[in-house]
Structure 1
Amino acid sequence: MFRSARLSTSTPLRNGNLLPARALAYAWSLMALLALLAWLVTVAQARDMGVEPGTMGMGLPLFLGLWLVMMAAMMLPSVAPVAITWVRGIRRRAVGVARAARVAQFTGGYLLAWGLFGLLVYAALGATGDLVDEHPGAGRWIGAGAFALAGLHQLGPLKDVCLRHCRSPMGQLVRYAGFRPWARDFRVGAHHGLFCVGCCWGLMLILVPLGVMNVAAMAGVAAVIFIEKLWGRGPYVATAVGVVFLALAVLVLFDPFTDWLLPGLTHSGSEMEMGRMR
């Protein structure tokens, strides 16, 4: 299935896993442009939909399409260094359009991994939405559980393993060099995306209580992901965020004035009144 191969020893790296500033600037500029376009689409869609429990009336195809746009907005800036390291480290003679095509394949595979996770998110939103409709008081318990699970994940071993991979992926990229050429860039992106899902699924989970279309929450999660992966003290930030989530879980459960933390699990007064009228 695999064949032996190695990254070129002449790959221009610094400190073992960093590319020259110009290459990184190009990668980040391209990914940042795509992320900006994705943010514009997401914000426009969120303005029309608002924040409420459940899937907000979206069918699965529409939700997955919007979810992938959201993931592009939130994740592309932090994955840009890995993508450009990969395409420059293997068959470096590819330039221009060929290199852009390879980056596109890598990104497509990466987003596929997040699309599969989106299926679970859609199922979770559907289940929690139905439960909150039938038992409005359950939203507080669901929110507390989501914050607690996210906090435990931030402090757990899976987060540590996957975050170390995302921060220093060179060892895994060398292994990827042994993949057979067929759709290799796409498969490498998907494989790296699975590591990223393992690293960040807890952060995405808090969008259930905060609202999956809550732009402020999405921006906050995206900022945390970027800092965790690219800042030298990112692992300490991950730990601190986990502690905050656990504290919020307790606060949500015992403080009756924390509905502002649960917009994705509570109906507004006008919505509840309309429901009673119907």
Structure 2
Amino acid sequence: MPAHSIEARASQRAFFGVSALLFAVSTAVTIAGAASMSAMGEMPMSGGWTMSATWMPMCGQTWPGLAASFLGMWVVMMVAMMLPSLIPMLRRYREAVSRTGVTGLGWLTLVVGVGYFFVWTAFGIAVFPLGAALAALEMQQPTLARAVPFAMGVIVLIAGALQFTAWKARRLACCRATPARCLMLPALPADAATAWHHGLRLGLHCSYCCASLTTVLLVAGVMDLRVMAAVTAAITVERLAPRGERVARVIGVGIVGAGVLLIVRAVGLG
């Protein structure tokens, strides 16, 4: 067997081994963090719902400390949730770049992955102040708090409807296609700068494609393990299963149904 073939197989095994380890560690940390957050309890709110400790400082905790805690947990959670669907894209990138004979393929793959998760980190930085500000308003305004269950149902319903749009179909088609077709592999020669930009492009495409499912995660329970597991499964299946557009619509039916159920429940509580 040629030496380069043996080296390629070893590199591929290392790639999958590191990916599996990273997924296992991020999943374990996510579970532990969610359990810790759950142990802190939730605050009863007007309207018959409870607010997670995710958005409010605990005794002795500062706002910067809460923000840092949220962002750290967000990044680890995104790694655990997005890695299953990212690995095939990274593998295709590696296959395309390896044909050029470039060295340091492992390093370039790492740079692509860091660029990808940088996008999700930036999203988390934007989400926290909005969520914290909304939580503060809900605690100060009982009328607003009472409207939250109904608003949650409406938002989930809209997120489900987004799964049926042509916009979603185009975004999903790009995420499922080969990088050369929709994501424009970096111009050769491959280097850290082009790998970084490719990772950013992957992250942006992914965040667009996952907009509806990420909205469900934020609304239904950003630190709820059941919601995280369901969203992770939905993202992975619609990316990797045959006929992904049809799968996305089936997922949309489920999300719409959940939104209707939340609205009915909110009206009943009202």
- Same structural fold, with TM-score higher than 0.5 when normalized by the shorter chain: yes
The answer to whether structure 1 residue 63 and structure 2 residue 70 are counterparts is: yes
The answer to whether structure 1 residue 129 and structure 2 residue 135 are counterparts is: yes
Partner of 2:93: 86
Distance 1:258 1:165 in 2: 41
CA contact (8 A) 1:109 1:186 kept: yes
Deviation at 1:70, TM superposition (A): 0.6
CA contact (8 A) 1:146 1:208 kept: no
1:90-123 deviation digits (Å, cap 9, x = unpaired): 244346xx22211110100000111122133223
Distance 1:224 1:27 in 2: 24
Equivalent position to 2:159, from 147, 150, 158:
150
Taking the TM superposition and a 5 Å limit, the aligned residue runs for 1:115-126 are 115-126=121-132
Deviation at 1:26, TM superposition (A): 6.0
1:180-222 deviation digits (Å, cap 9, x = unpaired): 7451111101101100000002111112332111111111111
Partner of 1:32: 20
Distance 1:23 1:224 in 2: 30
Q: TM-score, normalised by structure 1?
A: 0.76
Distance 2:192 2:205 in 1: 21
CA contact (8 A) 2:163 2:249 kept: yes
Distance 2:10 2:229 in 1: 27
Equivalent position to 2:260, from 250, 257, 260:
250
Q: TM-score, normalised by structure 2?
A: 0.78
Deviation at 1:32, TM superposition (A): 2.6
Distance 2:14 2:256 in 1: 39
Deviation at 1:27, TM superposition (A): 4.4
Aligned-pair identity in percent equals: 28
Q: How many residues end up aligned between the 2 structures?
A: 239
Distance 1:33 1:172 in 2: 30
CA contact (8 A) 1:153 1:159 kept: yes
Higher relative contact order (CA 8 A, sep 6+): 1
What amino acid maps onto 2:90 in structure 1? Answer: A
The answer to whether structure 1 residue 141 and structure 2 residue 150 are counterparts is: yes
CA contact (8 A) 1:28 1:77 kept: no
What amino acid maps onto 1:122 in structure 2? Answer: F
Taking the TM superposition and a 5 Å limit, the aligned residue runs for 1:39-78 are 39-50=27-38, 52-53=51-52, 55-57=55-57, 59-78=66-85
Structure with the larger helix share: 2
Distance 1:124 1:105 in 2: 29
Equivalent position to 1:107, from 93, 96, 113:
113
Distance 2:166 2:12 in 1: 30
Let me know the Cα RMSD of the aligned residues.
2.9
Equivalent position to 1:176, from 185, 189, 199:
185
CA contact (8 A) 1:252 1:258 kept: no
Deviation at 1:257, TM superposition (A): 9.0
Equivalent position to 1:221, from 223, 231, 234:
231
Equivalent position to 2:176, from 159, 162, 167:
167
Equivalent position to 2:222, from 195, 212, 224:
212
Cα gap change, 1:173 to 1:28, in 2 (>3 Å): farther
1:53-84 deviation digits (Å, cap 9, x = unpaired): 35243633332221111110001111111112
What amino acid maps onto 2:86 in structure 1? Answer: V
The SS at the match of 2:211 is helix
The SS at the match of 1:213 is coil
Partner of 2:45: none
Distance 2:127 2:10 in 1: 37
* Greater Cα offset, 38-47 or 119-128: 119-128
Tell me, which stretches of 5 or more residues in structure 2 are unaligned? 43-50, 58-64
Cα gap change, 1:157 to 1:22, in 2 (>3 Å): farther
CA contact (8 A) 1:143 1:208 kept: no
